[in-house]
Amino acid sequence: MRSKDEGSRPHETYTKIVEVRREDDVDTVTVGRVLGVLGQAGVSAEMLRTFEYVLAEIISNVFHHSGADLCWVGILQYPTKRKVQLAIVDNGIGIRASLARNPDFSSPLISHADAITLAAQARITSNPAAKPIRPEGNGGLGLYCMRKVMELNGGLAFIQSGAGYLYTN
């Protein structure tokens, strides 16, 4: 599929959308396709390994935390600008409802925006068995690592759930 960026010729912008129906597709299909596009955009091998971890974690978390039965990964590539935009969208319950599964974050007063801000911090998880802050393992690192990788590499992160969002750059 082709898309047009303002001020560009149609062949300068390409969009791929990958549908992921189950967690098994994460490593075998989705991450490989995304890494292929990032590699074409000139992303270094070291950064590709980092993105591989972050993408697999985020997409796996869709199935672990959101209750979604599928998600979509969209990749918008601007080859002449050496720029890539990536979107992961699911049909799940949202971050606020997911965090509410953990009694430490079940306050009905927490807004969607507050839930996103909280979930984007290290070691925050909806899994009550993992405890809200866990010193070992990878519990609660998905959104945090994604946000940090983007910030450290001059990118931006936009996380939306329900009526709230978090935008960092």
- pLDDT, one tens digit per residue, over 124-136 is 988 877 654 445 5
Dist. CA 31–CA 44, nearest whole Å: 16
pLDDT exceeds 80 at position 30: no
Dist. CA 71–CA 62, nearest whole Å: 7
Q: Are residues 87 and 103 in the same domain?
A: no
pLDDT exceeds 70 at position 56: yes
Q: Are residues 99 and 76 in the same domain?
A: no
Q: Are residues 30 and 55 in the same domain?
A: yes
Per-residue pLDDT, 135: 54
Q: Are residues 19 and 38 in the same domain?
A: yes
Q: Are residues 67 and 120 in the same domain?
A: no
Distances in Å between the Cα of 26 and the Cα atoms of 6, 95, 159, 160 are 32, 20, 20, 21
Q: Are residues 79 and 117 in the same domain?
A: no
92, 121, 148 - which closes a domain:
92
* Residues of the domain holding 44: 1-92
119 or 131, which is more confident: 119
Contacts of 46 (CB under 8 A, 6+ apart): none
